[in-house]
Structure 1
Amino acid sequence: MLAELFRQSARDCAGASPLTSTLLAAASADLDSGGPTRRVMANAERARAGDVPALRFAAAVHRVVLEGRAPALAAHYPTVGGSPELGALWADARGVVEEHADELRALVDTTTVQTNEPGRSGPLFGGLHTATALAAAAAGRRTPFPVRLLEVGASGGLNLRPHRIAYLHGDRVFGDPGSPLRLDTGWSGEPDGDLDRPLRLVGRGGCDPNPVDVSTVDGRQHLLSFVWPDQRERWTRLGAALDLAAVDPVPVRRAPASEWLGEQLARPERDVLTVVWHSVVWQYASAAERAAGRAVLASAAERATAAAPLALLVFEPRRGHDPALPHEFQLLLKLWPAGRSLRLGAGGPHGTPFTWESAPWV
């Protein structure tokens, strides 16, 4: 079962990361044969697909490489200046797995998958503009609402700075042109709303069951280790987001989403659009926690008013219509008390590219 989960993960990332795919395919065979990978994964024998044990294994190996303790394997990893030779990859990786088995097992046992992908700020930025415009129209306001942004499953909080990013769309730049994080949105079309009008964020916060302190070396290395090593654009983007976080810290509290949201949404805030946001998180939450979160949001929606509106803005995988693509990543918006429920578009799992196409969310 565990080896098959590794093989499935290898297939899933084959097109996006040949290095990770090759590593996981070889590790699956090593599991079958009783090699050192079995020792590393000893406590994950009964892992579920949702636990993504293979990606935790790949991140643990990457972490050892990033820390400069696997020089032969580092020669294959572009994140430390290497160039992959896939045919020789496992021969070098197997020695690292064997030498560092106990440490790798501890990393696999104690970490959760946390890509905290800053590319998803692209859809968030556009979705916020749409939400503020629709809420303002419903309230009869001439100008958009300022935003209080609440993120559940925030990890290191890297997507809590949508107003501090430079968004590149053709020959135009939206957001903060001077930002160290320049995001090529890959947009097809544009969201509704005046993108040239600056977003006003008057409050930001997040929660996570296992928050990452990105002000520390350990926290940075943790997030960097989950980037597939041959995805250089994502690596550069994450580094820039971490640099931005260093000069604009936002707290992320260790708490269940339902508990934290219950506190944050206890009272509506007048003249502010409160936006609850999450991205590629819901699949990792338990059924009980999802139900509790929905109940908290439903209660808050009943208290929302035209002058103190509430929005839910999520970027999550949903079943698509194309059999070749069992899931597509959709940006979905609900607004209360306006009663709007929209599918704003869909894109890649890391937020780019993205196609804007507004339709009812059903």
Structure 2
Amino acid sequence: MLAELFLDASRACRVHSPLTHTLLVSAADDLTRGGVTARVMAGAQCDRHGTVPGLRFAGALHRLVLEGRAPALARHYPTVGGEPDLGRLWDDALPVLEEHADELRFLVTSTVVQTNEPGRSAPLFGGLQTATHLAAAEAGRRATFPVRLLEVGASGGLNLRPHRIAYVVDGVAAGDPGSPFELDPKWTGRPPVDVRHPLRLVRRAGCDLDPVDVTTEDGRLHLSSFVWADQLHRFRRLQAAIDLARLDPVPVQRATGPEWLADQLAQPERDVLTVVWHSVVWQYASPADRAMGRAILADAAARATPQAPLALLVYEPRRTHRTDPYEFQLLLKLWPAGVSLRLGSGAGHGIPFTWDTAPWT
């Protein structure tokens, strides 16, 4: 039932975004009673859990606020200078839903959730450093490999420039100290290698079913709308990442993951470490695409050599037996070295992160 999916999404943000939690709980109740939310969500009644219709609903409302077209609701949204009054939030949302029901329905049904969270570049950076050192050791090289980074489900491509970010760890900057985008990764522990070593990315490419052009205002608004509006630190981080992306553009190709990956991995590249990367996209992929992607990667892994190595580096939620049913884990496989590691775990947005290297089983 759609109302249950809204409540599922509300539970995920209860601690970190009281505004989104309150909005979704109220919307779920309105759905059950057949209120205006049911009109806004018409056509989404059969959506599966992984498409998170509740967050698409919240994102559509946030976009109207960011565009300055819902002033009464905007007073609750810190991203435009507001201060949430949770007791009045739904009362102020209802007139907006009534006035813009058709437009909101179009936004909800025509978009997918794309957080494209740049905070995930922090664990990616440490994971890439680890992969380059391990691949060099396997090949008997003194210098680490340059990297060809391939991102599946890249959205706006904000995580395709991890080497262009300044990571400030205990007052020391790694990555690019001169970057306009400074990031505190909030690490507990450290990667198993020295991250101060220069990371060389010689080629970068990404694909997405619905790529976002962050050089446009529409693209900026689209990604910004999916940030929970009372998480100003994430909103500001996203704006900094977009500014960096505009200075260092990397086009994202419209394509399915398996089709694109097969083309990218058709031939191994000597003296380059090829890294396939994805973060929080697995839930959106169909079972058929997942199976095809695994087969394509396995075929490429079989052709990898010590001088043309291949790595898979992912940051995805995995089921656990702990109180929280999911844990976001950074996982690394490296071929032909046979490395399979769980490098650590962290928040869904990549920050904070705890490094704790163990076998990936």
Q: What TM-score do the two structures reach when normalised by structure 2?
A: 0.99
Whole-Å separation in 1 of the counterparts to 2:304 and 2:116: 30
How many Å separate the matches in 1 of 2:8 and 2:31?
14
What's the secondary structure of 2:269's corresponding residue? coil
Residues 250-304 of structure 1: CA deviation (Å, up to 9, x unaligned): 0100001111111110001000000000000111100000000011100100110
Distance 1:167 1:331 in 2: 18
Q: Which amino acid aligns with 2:335?
A: W
CA distance in 1, matches of 2:154, 2:177: 25
Residue 76 of structure 2 is matched in structure 1 by 76
Counterpart position of 1:139 = 139
Q: How many percent identity over aligned positions? A: 70
Instruction: Name the structure 1 match of 2:161.
Output: 161
| 1:250 paired residue number | 250
Contiguous gaps of at least 5 residues in structure 2: none
Distance 1:341 1:59 in 2: 37
Partner of 1:198: 198
1:291 aligned counterpart, secondary structure: helix
Aligned counterparts of 1:10 and 1:339: Cα–Cα separation in 2: 40
Q: Which residue of 2 aligns with 1:311?
A: 311
Q: Find the counterpart in structure 1 of residue 171 from structure 2.
A: 171
Q: Which amino acid aligns with 2:225?
A: S
Matched, 1:113 2:108: no
Match of 1:273 in 2: 273
Q: What SS does structure 2 have at the residue aligned with 1:91?
A: helix
- Displacement of 1:16 in angstroms is 0.9
Q: Secondary structure at the match of 1:332?
A: strand
Map of 1:186 onto structure 2: 186
Q: Once the 2 structures are TM-superposed, how far is the Cα of residue 184 of structure 1 from its aligned partner? A: 1.0
Does residue 1:357 correspond to 2:351, yes or no? no
Listed one character per residue, the Cα deviations across residues 23-48 of structure 1 (whole Å, up to 9, x for unaligned) are 11111111112211110001111122
Structure 2 Cα separation of the partners of residues 52 and 86 of structure 1: 22
Q: Deviations over 1:129-151 (max 9, x none)?
A: 00000000000000110000000
Distance 2:337 2:46 in 1: 46
Once structures 1 and 2 are overlaid, which stretch shifts more, 187-196 or 139-148? 187-196
**Amino acid aligned to 1:282:** W
Give the aligned partner of residue 225 of structure 1: 225
Partner of 1:286: 286
Deviation track 1:294-349 (CA, whole Å, cap 9, x = no partner) reads: 11100100110100000000000011231x21110000000001011000000010
Q: Indicate the residue corresponding to 2:341 in structure 1.
A: 342
Alpha-carbon distance between aligned partners in 1 of 2:51 and 2:82, rounded to the nearest angstrom: 29
CA distance in 1, matches of 2:98, 2:168: 44
RMSD of the TM alignment (CA)? 0.7
Q: Secondary structure at the match of 1:44?
A: coil
Aligned to 1:16: 16
Equivalent position amino acid for 1:304 in 2: A
SS in structure 2 opposite 1:314? strand
The equivalent of 1:302 in structure 2 is 302
Q: Distance in 2 between matches of 1:13 and 1:46?
A: 23
Q: Secondary structure at the match of 1:98?
A: helix
Residue correspondences, number: 361
* Aligned residue runs from structure 1 range 321-336, under 5 A: 321-322=321-322, 324-336=323-335
Separation of aligned partners in 2, 1:4 and 1:309? 45
Show CA shifts across 1:86-130 (max 9, x none): 000000001101100000000001000100000000000000000
**TM-score, normalization: structure 1?**
0.99
Aligned to 2:264: 264
Residue of structure 1 in register with 2:238 after alignment: 238
TM-aligned CA deviation for residue 192 of structure 1:
2.0
